[in-house]
Homo-oligomer: A and B are copies of this chain.
Amino acid sequence: MSNLKSIADLQDALCLALENKNFPSEPKNLYEPISYILSLGGKRLRPVMVLMVADMYGCDITQVMPQAIGVEYFHNFTLLHDDIMDDAPLRRGMTTVHEKWNANVGILSGDALFVKAYQSLVKTDTIHLPDLIDLFNQTALEVCEGQQYDMDFETQDLVSMDAYLRMIKYKTAVLLACSLKMGAIVSRASIEDQNHLYDFGIHTGIAFQLMDDLLDVYGNQKDFGKQIAGDILCNKKTCLYIRAYEVADASQRKVLDHYFAHQDFDPEEKIAEVKKVYELLNVKAYCLQSMEEHYKLAMSHMAQISIPQDRKSTMTEFVDMLMVRIQ
């Protein structure tokens, strides 16, 4: 079996394949926004994971390139529509499509990109088609459900930790899990391996999201690149907030209610007062532990995959590299 490819090699192969995709020149207002959002870059986490799984199994990565590209198209379709729904002005530091063009262009070019995802996804042996398409349909529907739960949370006073974990599982983790399983399907991995890779993706995805929540408040702004405590400032219900609210006494809930009721506080005061409650209730340690549990669950699924340990190293190193930011 050939040597494992490096992460950099996989990323290069993916970027080259993405760059070689050309969209029709007409209608301009349908396809230019698609080329634009795809050109904004990003980590390409999901498609690289598709390739990485194929490489783990010694399958030629060109065999799974259409599925890798399909997943990246789908992810960017969700960004186009989510940015409209969240009224986000910026995406990766650049103007969002609905701001640069308008909301209608964002809706329709998103729809077209969704179709392009399906078109790419089905470029495979007919034998894989039913499994791939069922998995992808189920995932796409769950991603919609996750986004809906996330929007519902904005107007809900009380969100349980279970409901929160379901939301991040659907909104974030299932697409990672789907990417890994698609790589496994095309590589003709056993059903058991496919399912372990899927569960590895679920728990990795949840761990990543919990990490993001933690980094927002406890991360190093220089490393992280985002505004510190942006989630607190915009009243976002993260795992920290939800845990705090769950265990808070009446007076602590009052503080949280007060500061999460609107946005016109002095930012430094708001962050300091909310963090004070977080610290009293020890929510950082709770969320860190939850994150680590999901990370360990992910690794236990990886351990059960029936290929030699040394073929798992790129994947585990990749995940470790992404997780290291939490320390």
A residues touching B (Cβ–Cβ < 8 Å)?
27, 29-30, 81, 84-85, 103-104, 107-108, 111-112, 114-116, 118-119, 122, 126, 129-130, 133-134, 137, 140-141, 144-145, 147-149, 151-152
Contact = CB atoms under 8 A, between A and B. Distances in A.
B133 A118 contact: yes
A29 B155 CA distance: 13
A122 to B, nearest CB: 5
A108 B27 contact: no
A82 to B, nearest CB: 9
A118 B104 contact: no
Contacts of A137: 115, 118-119, 122
B81 A111 contact: yes
A33 to B, nearest CB: 10
B104 A85 contact: yes
Contacts of A129: 126, 129-130, 133
A212 B300 CA distance: 62
26 contacts: A27-B145, A27-B152, A29-B152, A30-B144, A30-B148, A84-B107, A85-B104, A85-B107, A107-B107, A108-B144, A108-B147, A108-B151, A111-B140, A112-B141, A115-B140, A115-B141, A116-B141, A118-B118, A118-B133, A119-B141, A122-B130, A122-B133, A122-B137, A126-B129, A129-B130, A129-B133
A30 B140 contact: no
A126 B119 CA distance: 17
Residue among A126, A134, A144 having the largest count of chain B Cβ atoms under 10 Å:
A144
